[in-house]
Amino acid sequence: MQTAAAALFKDWSGYLKPEDISQLESAFHFSEQAHEGQFRQSGEPYVSHPLAVANILAQWHLDTQALTAALLHDVMEDTSVTKTEISKSFGKPVADLVDGVSKLDKIEFETHEEAQAENFRKMLLAMARDVRVILIKLADRLHNMRTLDAFEPEKRRRIARETLDIYAPIANRLGLNSIYHELEDLSLIHLYPDRHRVLAKAVKAARGNRREVVGKVLDTIKRKLKGAGVEAQVHGREKHLYSIYRKMREKHLSFAQVEDVFAFRVVVRDVPACYVALGTLHSLYKPIPGRFEDYIAIPKANGYQSLHTTLFGPFGTPIEVQIRTEEMHKIAEAGVASHWLYKSSDTTLSELQKKTHQWLQSLLEMQSQSGDSVEFLEHLKVDLFPDEVYVFTPKGRILALPRGATAVDFAYAVHTDIGNRCVAVKINQELMPLRSELRNGDRVEIITAAHAKPNPLWLNFVASGKARSRIRHFLKTMHFEESVQLGERLLNQSLTALGSALAEIKEAHWDKFTRDAGVRSRQEILADIGLGKRLAAVVARRLLPAGEPGPSEVTAPGSVIIRGSEGMAVQFARCCQPIPGDPIIGIISKGQGMVIHTHDCPVVVKARHDPDRILDVAWDPETKKLFEVSIKTVVANQRGVLAKVAAEIAGAGSNIQNVAMDREDGGDYTDMFFTLQVSNRLHLAQIMRGLRRIPEVIRLTRVKG
C-alpha cells in the first residue's frame, strides 16, 4: 500500500503545497497503523479503502483537512482511536469531520425503520454543519459501491437500495452529476443484475448500429456551428443505463422504443453564444414541440444551467442536445464541489453555495419541526425529488417546487405565515382551488386571511417536504395548546373535588412534581392530562401536600362543560355523533384527549370497566358551534324528490355535508342518507318535522354508527 499511496500523493502535489502532502503522509501512516490487521471483504488491507476515498475527493481538489479526514474516516468507528487523539495530531477541524462521518455509520441499516431514519437525521445535522462531511460520505459510498461484489447478494441489494433512495438523490441535489449517475448505474447492477446485463448488451448493439448516424450528426452540427461563427466543442454521448431503464419503466417502453439513447453536448464560450447555437441547431433540424427547457434563465435548484432541446434528426431519429458554457459544464459535473475544483470569483459559484446553504438550512428547520426521525425521513425523501416545476410570484420572482406541487406548496415556499393563513389562490389571474396543481410558468398569487389556519386535509395533496412539515408542526402546536387548556379544566375539576383549586397550588409543589415526573414545564403536565396520558385525579393528589383533604373530605366533582370550540383536544365520536341536547359522557383516550359519546353508545358500555377513563360532561347552554349528524330517509321514487328534501333542509337553516343514495333496481323506494350540520336536538327535530310534511317521505330516522 505504501507504493500506491506514494503515487497518489505525487499526483495530488499538483494542487497541494509540500506541507499539505507531508500532513497527508502522516495521516496515511496513522490510519495504516490503526487499521493494522484489518482486511476488507475482498481480502485487501483495510487502509486501501480510506486511501481510495481520499483519491475521489482529490479529483475535486478538496482541501487538506477534508483529505486528511477521508484517510482517517473509519478509525473512530473501527479502532480504539478517539476524537481527542485525532484532534491532537491533526487539529480540531479534522477531528470534527471524522466525528461527523463516523456518527453516520453507528446504526446499521438492517435494523428497523426508526434506526435507519435516525441515521439519516444525524447525517443531515453533520452535513448542515459542514458540507465536506457529506462529500466524504458520498465518496465513501461510491467506493463501497464500486467494490460491492465481495458481499452476499442480499447485503448488496440492501446497500444498493439505500444508495438509490437517499445517497444518489443527495448527490443530485448537490449538483454532483458524475457521482449521481455512477451511483445509479452501480445500484442497477446490484439490484437488478439480469436487467442490467440485458440492457448493457442492447446498448452495445445499438452503439454499433447507430455509429454511422451519430458520426454523421456530429459532423453536421460541427460544420453548421462553425459556419454560424460559433466556437464550440461538440461531443456525442450515450445516456446512462439507469436513465434508460427509468424511462423504459416509467413510460412502459421496450428498449427498441427508446429512441434518444444517444445525446449531444455543445460547450460554447459565453451565454449569448448558447442562444446563437440554439437558433443554429433549430435551423439545421426541426425542434420537437414541448421538448425545450431553458435552465440558463431559470437554473435548477442545484445550480445546474443548460439549454435542453430535442430535434428531429436524420431518418426521423430524435436527437437530444444540451448547450452550455464551459463554466456551466464545470458546475454541471462537480456541483457544490466546484467550489474547491475551480477557484473562481465567478458569481455562479457563490450563488450555488448560497442555494446549497439555503437548502441545508431548510432541512434543519424541517427536522427541528418533525415529530420523529421516520417523519423527517419522509420529508427528506419528498424534498430530494428531482423533477421540478418553475412558477412566478406576482412580483416576478421565480420559485422552484417539486413536480405535482399545489398552491399550498407555493404559499409555504414564499413564507410559513403565508402558508398558515392562505384561504384562496389566483393562478394566472383566475381564482382556483388551493389543491390546484401548478404548471411551469404559472403566475401565482396567494390570498390570505388574518384568522385562517392550516387544514389537516392539505396533507393529502401537498407535494413539498417544507409544506408538509410546516402544516404538521402547526397542527401539533395547536393540538398541544388546546390540550393544555382542556388539561387545566380537568385538573381544576379534580382539585375542586378534593377541596382545593388550581390557583391555590404553590410554585414549590409544581416544581417538585415536574421534577419528579421528568418534564420541563407544567404545560407538559397539563397537555398530558388533556391527551389522556395522565389522570387528572392522580396529578391532583400528588400536587396537594400531605395532610390536606383525605378521602372522607372528597366532594363529588362537577361536570366538565363542553362548548364545542375546544378544537382537537375534544373530539366528538363518529360512532354516535352526539349533538347538544343528547345526554353525553366523556372518555379519556390516550394520545387523543377526550372523546364525547352519547350515554347509550356501545363504546361507553365497554369503557365502564375502567372508571378512571370516564368523565362527567355537560353541554354549555350557549354553544354556538354546528355539529354533524346523520339521518336516513326512505322516499318514494318520484321526479324531483331529492330537490324537495334538499330545499326543506336548507330552509330549516342546515347545511348538507354529504348525501348518498341506495336504491334497488326496479324498486319503488330509495334510501337517502344525509350528513347535516345542526345546532342542537331542537334544530334536528325542526328539520325532521319539516321533512315528514313532504308526501314522498315514507320513513325518517336518525342514524348512529
Backbone angles phi, psi at 292, to 5 degrees: -120, 135
Distance CA 33, CA 470 (A): 49
Closest C-alpha to 615, from 577, 576, 561: 561
Query: 77 an active-site residue?
Result: yes
Catalytic residue among 25, 44, 77, 442: 77
Is there a contact between 438 and 427 (Cβ–Cβ < 8 Å)?
A: yes
Distance CA 123, CA 141 (A): 13
Within 8 A by CB and 6+ apart from 644, the residues are: 694, 696
Distance CA 431, CA 48 (A): 62
Distance CA 21, CA 5 (A): 11
* Grid coordinates belonging to 513: 412534581
Query: 628 an active-site residue?
Result: no
Backbone angles phi, psi at 656, to 5 degrees: -95, 115
Count each helix (H run) and each strand (E run) in the chain, helices first.
28, 19
* Residue that the C-alpha cell 454521448 belongs to: 237
Is there a contact between 409 and 460 (Cβ–Cβ < 8 Å)?
A: no
- Runs of H (alpha helix) within 228-309: 241-251, 271-284
Q: Which long-range contacts (CB under 8 A, 24 or more apart) does 599-603 make?
A: 600/576, 601/573, 601/575, 601/576, 601/704, 602/575, 603/573, 603/575, 603/576
Distance CA 661, CA 659 (A): 7
Catalytic residue among 25, 44, 63, 78: 78
Within 8 A by CB and 6+ apart from 314, the residues are: 213, 216, 217
Distance CA 551, CA 542 (A): 14
* Grid coordinates belonging to 356: 446549497
**Catalytic annotation, residues:** 77-78
